[in-house]
Chain A
Amino acid sequence: MEPILSRYIWTNTKRQQLWILLVVGASMIPYYMAFNLPKLIVNGPIQGEGFETPDATQTFGNITLDLPWLGQVELFQGIPLERLPMLLALSMAFLALVIVNGLFKFYINTYKGRLGERLLRRIRFALVDRILRFPPARLKALKPGEISSMVKDEVEPLGGFTADAFVQPALLGGQALTALLFIFIQHFWLGMLTFGVAMVQVLVIPKMRQRLIVLGRERQLTARQLAGRVSDIVTGIDTIRAHDTTNFERADIAHRLSRIFRIRYDIYQWKFLVKFLNNFLAQLTPFLFYSFGGYLTIKGTLDVGQLVAVINAYKELPGPLKELIDWDLTRQDVQVKYEQVVEQFESDVLIDADLQSPTPDPDAAFGHPLSVRNVSLVDDSGSLVLDQVSLKIETGERVAFLGPSGSGGGALAEALGRLVWPTSGNILAGEHDLLHLPESLVGRKISYASGEGHLFDGTLEDNLLYGLKNEPRVPRVYTGRARRLRDWEVMEAGLSGNPVFDLNDSWIDEAAIARHTGEADLLSSVMAVFDCVGLSDDVLDMALHTTLDEAQRQTLAERIVALRAPLAAALREAGLGAMVSQFRPGCYNSGATVGENLLFGQLTGEEDSLRRIVRSRFFRELIFSDGIGEDLFAMGRAIAEITVDLFRDMPPDHVFFQRMTLMRPEEIPDYTALLHRLEGKSFATAADADRIALMRLAFYYNERWFRFGVLDEALMRRIVEVRGKIHAGMPDALKPLIEVYETGRYIRSATLLENLLFGKVDTFQSDAERKVRTVASEVLGRDPALCRDVQTIGLCYGIGPAGRRLQAVQRQKLNLARAMIRPSDYYILNQPLTGLDAAARRKIRVDVVDFLAGRPDRPGIVWVTADEADVDGFDRIVRFENGSVVSDHYSETFSRESARTEGVEASA
């Protein structure tokens, strides 16, 4: 990238810079006219100069230019006006100038702002673009936190400076020179004197500011490192807590902050010292005028008029000079920032932008086989991980790279996936080096997956289809307002050097995927690969545990409710009836909370609804008259005692609190105090707020989960009795707060599974969830359309940043599935399932390899494994040891004819 900011700005914005300079120049004319006008108004019509007689007139608006050689040229003769009309005309002219000046200012500021924003956008894009083009070795050294802080914050001031980069010095320099010239005309030596002091200011001050720049650079560096460190802490918080190194981290942060503080304080000291000196020099000149100029006047070599004129002219000088020096400081400051950022984004090697173009050179072709020629790899620590390996992989071959970790198979797979570049030797597709072929070919013809692929924040589906979004395939059609907005976006993107790709286009070639998987459509393709890696059940699970939103509910609710009866029958048939506690008006449901049982329904707005119900007159009368209030109160008290006892000594951020859903950590002291207050008191004598607090605890209690032993059969029966009374006498005002369990009704605040079952799975039974889900999925399967809708909901599950909401094993499976769904010629699968046990891994491996081998294009498959027992079913086994291939043989079942390879050519 261009190392000097001013040059970068000029190259990218010269036309706009010249235009704005021109506009600023033009704006000076009305600006100075507005200065002169008040004097004309006061002297003329107000004080009466030239209007000595009542009918005297003056010319208004006469425009005469004084041109060299041509003499006076009158452009407009003007209109003769009397005193009052003249006042009005001049005042109107003043108003007009005010408006014109304002409009000029508005235009210039908007224009400058836009110019700056465009440049900022250009720089930010260029930086990210470079990251996308870094070679693998360079990427390893990058710290994500620092890089994002650079792209986001550090380049920000560059935008603001852009518009002033050339206009400001031209303008201020012009003003300063005019004032200086005027002083010279008045008196040569006084001019020289002023010039001398100004030069000291212009030359010395920036020199002193050098140190400020050095400090500024340090400040930027330390602040960036701090950002990197903070992001490191956030990412590694589990490790930090697990190792009890929080205090070490505190020390580190405090140390960094102290350094930043020192630097910043130093900056302040220098900044104000320089400011002091600058002000002093500015005031020194008038001192010289008074003393030296005064002396000359007394001596008689300078007349008083000249001295006053010089002093007046000098008033115009320090302002622009100071601003000019400030501008220079900003320039140096942003130059440093720019340099610092650009330095971090420098790289000796950068992938050629053409290689990453989405639509490649039509002549480029991806040949076969994939040949590895004398490839050696040296890792970052300098040790040789692959030593002169040569081999060929044909399409249609199923190859296992076998060897313990670090033996070379994994390293070669990484090289085939272009995660690392060979230190020597090369990898060819047919005749062409992989690294010189366009990425749009290599990246699509070779799919790579390892156990560590990164997942992006988004839905399950977004992540699975990520590898298919190589180029916009079907443009989105816009109309009306959206069309205008899109046109504007395209124009602006062009002006800032950004690409004009539209994120809203369809980026997925659905037909190609369908051909690849042999399925009818995208959803079936997705489910087919998920079946292979064993994720389909998880997808269903995610869907079943979702609480549907309004739109989903509208399409699904009725069909789900209709499935309740068949599902219940199917569960009974499978002998699983006992695994579900259905909602029955006359029974206590042990899978639900006390509150849900009491109301026989779910609250629509949780806490707020509960508060309104508990405070309602109806409810209060009921609990007081019936005695259930006393029971709930006693239960809540027991729960509070046990919980407080359990958690008394726990720090509020302890992970065990996550299991305690009845109380928040900060409430422990409140409940301790409450129990203390209630000592010796009963339900009748307790304060109202305390009663409600304890009953609230009882409300969310479930004996199955907590097993505190505070809810017995008799109380359960009582709760069911009261339930009847509640529903018989519930006032209309409270009804909308509760969604009652009715067989024909979809419960909005319950999950999809609870709605299907019209009950709760008894998690107490071992494996109940899985068994019930199997039957549920079988019943759902009878209605293919509904089944697809449910799967779609599961695919919308948000997996969180880096897929953190998934288990490690699910992440690996998803990563593998992401490679499988891509139509490629070669699949390089580098120990993709390390998190699974041997048996589960083998099953998925066999399914995945069978799936890929059965594709119409007969792709080549490479599977890296360290497990000797995990190589059945491969055509060929390449064994690695210490970075070399030690054996390479075909299995007996593999027909030699179909493999056009000679196996090992050379192994060191």
Chain B
Amino acid sequence: MMCMKDEVQILKAVPLFARMPVQKLRMLAFTSERVHFAPGDPIAREGEMSSVAYVILCGEAEVSAPAGVGSTVSGLIGERDVIGESALLCERPRIASVTAKTEVVALRVNRDCYMRLVADCPHSTAQTIRLLGERMNATLC
């Protein structure tokens, strides 16, 4: 059975959290909840307001974005991928729908907790900004 230690290992591999110190990541895992989706269960719905992101711990999910939305999202995603990470940064409707393809176990990360942890962690803030910059570049070009 997977425990918090394993979750921390997976979180560490996610770009958005990569620069956070282990102590903070442990707290992030502690304040998050683990959820289980059966195949076919919706994980995110397009247009829905949400303040949580999901980090897939195991299993595969299918992303279906409406036409015209950036190419970064569509197709299959799996372990260590993040669903709706922008919800951790700002209040926006979901831009795509995600459905569990196989059994999916994910960690539900809450914006409020994430923000509190990032607030006193300059490394992580810098990393987030750099990441956002790269993403902006990718979408604009």
Contacts and interface: CB of A to CB of B under 8 A. Distances in A.
B3 A708 contact: yes
A665 to B, nearest CB: 15
A530 B35 CA distance: 30
B41 interface: yes
Contacts of B5: 709
B113 to A, nearest CB: 7
Nearest to B117: A656
A839 B45 CA distance: 11
Interface in B106-127: 113, 116
Contacts of A837: 47-49, 93
Residue picked from A642, A655, A766, A767, most chain B C-beta under 10 Å: A766
A837 B94 CA distance: 11
Interface in B16-43: 23, 26-27, 29-31, 33-38, 41, 43
B138 interface: no
Contact of B36 (A642, A709, A765): A765
Given A646-B26, A656-B113, A764 B35 contact: yes
A675 to B, nearest CB: 17
A766 B35 contact: yes
B31 A659 contact: yes
Nearest to B6: A709
Contacts of A659: 30-31
A807 to B, nearest CB: 12
Contact of B30 (A646, A649, A765, A838): A646
Contacts of A681: none
A766 B37 contact: yes
B116 A839 contact: no
Interface in A676-714: 703-704, 706-709, 712
Contacts of B132: none
Contacts of B38: 765-766
Interface in A821-843: 837-839
A764 B34 contact: yes
Given A659-B30, A838-B47, A708 B36 contact: no
A646 B27 contact: yes
B22 to A, nearest CB: 11
Contacts of A707: 2-4, 7, 29, 34
A781 B32 CA distance: 35
Contacts of A763: 33
B4 A709 contact: yes
A656 B31 contact: yes
A656 B27 contact: yes
Contacts, number: 53
A237 to B, nearest CB: 16
Nearest to B104: A766
Contact of B41 (A649, A655, A706, A766): A766
A767 B48 CA distance: 16
Residue picked from A655, A703, A709, A838, most chain B C-beta under 10 Å: A709
A655 B115 CA distance: 12
Interface in A765-824: 765-767
Contacts of A645: 26
A704 B29 CA distance: 13
A894 B137 CA distance: 51
A904 B8 CA distance: 64
Interface string A204-240: 0000000000000000000000000000000000000
A655 B36 CA distance: 26
A832 B56 CA distance: 37
Contacts of A656: 27, 30-31, 113, 116
Contacts of B30: 646, 656, 659, 706
Nearest to A578: B38
Interface string A643-659: 00110010000011001
A771 B41 CA distance: 12
B57 to A, nearest CB: 11
A645 B27 CA distance: 10
A763 B35 CA distance: 8
Nearest to B43: A766
A645 to B, nearest CB: 8
Nearest to A835: B49
Nearest to A244: B119
Nearest to B2: A707
B26 A839 contact: no
A164 B80 CA distance: 80
Contacts of A708: 3-4
A659 B93 CA distance: 27
A123 to B, nearest CB: 46
A790 B119 CA distance: 44
A706 B30 CA distance: 7
Contacts of A839: 47-48
Contacts of A764: 34-36
B4 A767 contact: no
Contacts of A767: 41
Nearest to A649: B23
Nearest to B106: A766
B43 to A, nearest CB: 8
9 contacts: A649-B23, A656-B30, A656-B113, A703-B1, A707-B7, A708-B4, A764-B35, A765-B38, A837-B47
Given A766-B36, A766-B38, 18 more contacts: A646-B26, A646-B30, A656-B31, A656-B113, A659-B31, A707-B2, A707-B4, A707-B29, A709-B1, A709-B3, A709-B4, A766-B35, A766-B37, A767-B41, A837-B47, A837-B49, A837-B93, A838-B47
Please give me the 3 A-B residue pairs with the lowest Cβ-Cβ distance, nearest first. A709-B3, A766-B37, A707-B4
